[in-house]
Amino acid sequence: MLGDHSDQWDMPAGNYEMFSGGTKLDDAKDCINSSATISLQKYSTTKTMKMVEKRWKHAGGHSNPIGLKGTDEFVMKLAELTGTEVPQKLKIERGRLVDAMQDSYPYMHGKKFAIWGDPDFLLGAVSFLLEMGAEPTHVLCHNAPNGWEAEMRALLDTSPAKDSLNVWAGKDLWHMRSLLFTEPVDFMIGNSYGKELMRDTGTPLIYIGFPIFDRHHLHRYSISGYDGALNLLTWITNKVLDQLDEDTKQIATTDYFFDLVR
């Protein structure tokens, strides 16, 4: 994995090391001898993958393992490149995710979201929202590269609600603030910079993305793979339930307790 920063983000207490863990230099140098290279972030590695294809002569292309579909594509590409069967462990992880998605689908279906972030993150996260029947009403990418807007538009066009879903390439959160007043949504998904939007517009914020300064430990949880998709599902669905509780407690005639009535 180039580069593997997981240990650097999650060092234990004790003796501090500036460059703990990570990909070993010898392993990085040996990558040219691999049979294939897969980019996990298409738009962040454009020049890198040109070099990989031209100088290393590697196949593999790119894959975005966020959400069910994205992870399925990544796993099947690995199986194809290696000529091996998908391990039972991954099949179990996938089954758990599908089961959880079925449980949570009624709460996310039809909910309107505003979301912002980096290009590759947005493609994966929006794909997952669509899998859950949600409506990504405003998808904003300040640093959108060439080709990204068209790819996002094609993804949104797979939704039955496509006519009300919008892509905002090259815009910033000041633009998003105006959108939240003129075309409000149920929830926002983004980093800490959305906190002022939450205060100004009253739109609940679900903290997913980078950077996150004002909440603790979220960087310890992956959003990639089947387990990562389960994390996304957990955070989003529970925020929906939190808001549902908050809304219904204001109305005495509908003050019921969801799971407590079972």
Mean pLDDT of the region 100-127: 97
Check whether the bond before 211 is cis (ω within 30° of 0).
yes
Mean pLDDT of the region 118-133: 98
Answer for the pair 123, 155: CB distance below 8 angstroms, yes or no.
Answer: yes
What pLDDT score does 20 carry? 79
Amino acid letter for position 201: T
Interval 196-249: pLDDT, tens: 999 999 999 999 999 999 999 998 899 999 999 999 999 999 999 999 888 776
89-261 classified as CATH 1.10.10.10: no
Sheet order of strands, 205-207 included: 166-169, 135-141, 112-116, 187-190, 205-207
The neighbour count for residue 146, using CB atoms within 10 Å, is 9
The neighbour count for residue 1, using CB atoms within 10 Å, is 10
Q: Measured between alpha carbons, how far apart are the two ends of the chain, in Å?
A: 46
State what percent of residues in the chain have pLDDT above 70.
95
Q: Which of 14-23, 171-180, 216-225 has the lowest mean pLDDT?
A: 14-23
User: How many Å apart are CA 43 and CA 48, to the nearest integer?
Assistant: 10
Distances (CA, A) of 47 to 44, 52, 62: 8, 9, 13
What pLDDT score does 22 carry? 85
- Higher-confidence residue of 14 and 39: namely 39
Mean pLDDT of the region 81-88: 95
Can you give the pTM of this predicted structure?
0.91
The residue extents of the domains of the chain are 89-261
Answer for the pair 149, 167: CB distance below 8 angstroms, yes or no.
Answer: yes
